[in-house]
Structure 1
Amino acid sequence: MTEPSFLTTTRTAYDTVAADYEALLRDDLAGNTMDRVVLAAFAELAEGEVADIGCGPGRITAHLAALGLAVFGVDLSPEMVAVARDRHPDLRFEVGSMTGLELPDGGLGGVVAWYSVIHIPPDLQPAVFAEFHRVLAPGGRLLLAFQTGDERRDHTEGYGHRITLTGYRLPPERVTAQLVEAGFEPHATLVRAPEPPNEKTPQAYLLARKPG
């Protein structure tokens, strides 16, 4: 089967920027109180093994591990996975796509998708949420983070490189409705103001639970 073009371009873009992306964002959590608060809440709620889907260079994976979770990372970009393994050799990282996770049904206690569903076209996001639901055990927790809005943004430059990358700003209400359709119970939604100078739009965190 031919791979969808958005997966190919997303992988290529993140392969290109992997090292510079990691260097720029390495210490970003230290300056973002709300990110740390939400991740801490998720760490208290989740039980069992957790997958950080779209983990990039592994900074969120490592933070969750430091909070006491048994966590591993999955990313579409082999270069991002290589950087993550180099930066965090004590943690597990795998190459994979959220559109078809090579994980068993009901095996996880938690899934985190931290600014990673933003590259999935909106019409395909319900299938991704259904995949998250599939791999979670009953009672498992899901945490999403994304920029709010309702528009497509095409990027030709990023982290000092020429790239081709599409991202989507998402309305929390629509994402919540899609999660409900996938079988999740919404738990909490938080929208915060952007943090200058890097953020231009409000940011959303969405917690949900697989019933059971």
Structure 2
Amino acid sequence: MTKRERAKKIRVILEDLYPETPVPLDHKDSFTLLIAVLLSAQCTDVRVNQITPKLFAKADTPHKMIKLRYKQIENIIRPCGLAPRKAKAIRDLSQILIDKYDAQVPPDIDALEELPGVGHKTASVVMSQAFNVPAFPVDTHIHRCAERWKLSSGKSVVQTERDLKKIYAKKYWQKLHLQIIFFGREYCKARGHEAEKCPICSWI
């Protein structure tokens, strides 16, 4: 079986298991999605979804966010980890959005990556899920699965993203991104993974 044949079979399995791919992070617009994705760094989506309602009740727009002090934001988001750094990034990027983008999240990946606390993965998620622009953000689940499935060398997330984009047509990127994350959490975990019981690893 060639890599492309294997990739197609994997996509069929994922489509069968996850025909619907709801966005895991609760949000109502591009700004709240941006903040939620930023908070999800080294934190579970479940935890983020427990914390963001408290934060967004106080500030769900850039103008409201800059009215909060760094310490206020930090105290709310503390359960998400890295609270001081994330609080500073959230307040600072809110000010930048006001100053440079009329308080709107720019639908431009380069502009997003220039914001404090926003790396390539976060920017890609926002482009894909908020603006429906094809992107293939690679998180730890996707990085792990792509290596196990021999779709990428797994040397870096950058390489994994590049490899997956070569294998799969652009029209599949957004859905596959979420499907692989869901699969990685349910069947292809980092610890305690039993390849013989995995719907994909069992035949690779």
TM over 0.5: no
TM-score (ref. length: structure 1): 0.30
User: Which is strand-richer, 1 or 2?
Assistant: 1
TM-score (ref. length: structure 2): 0.31
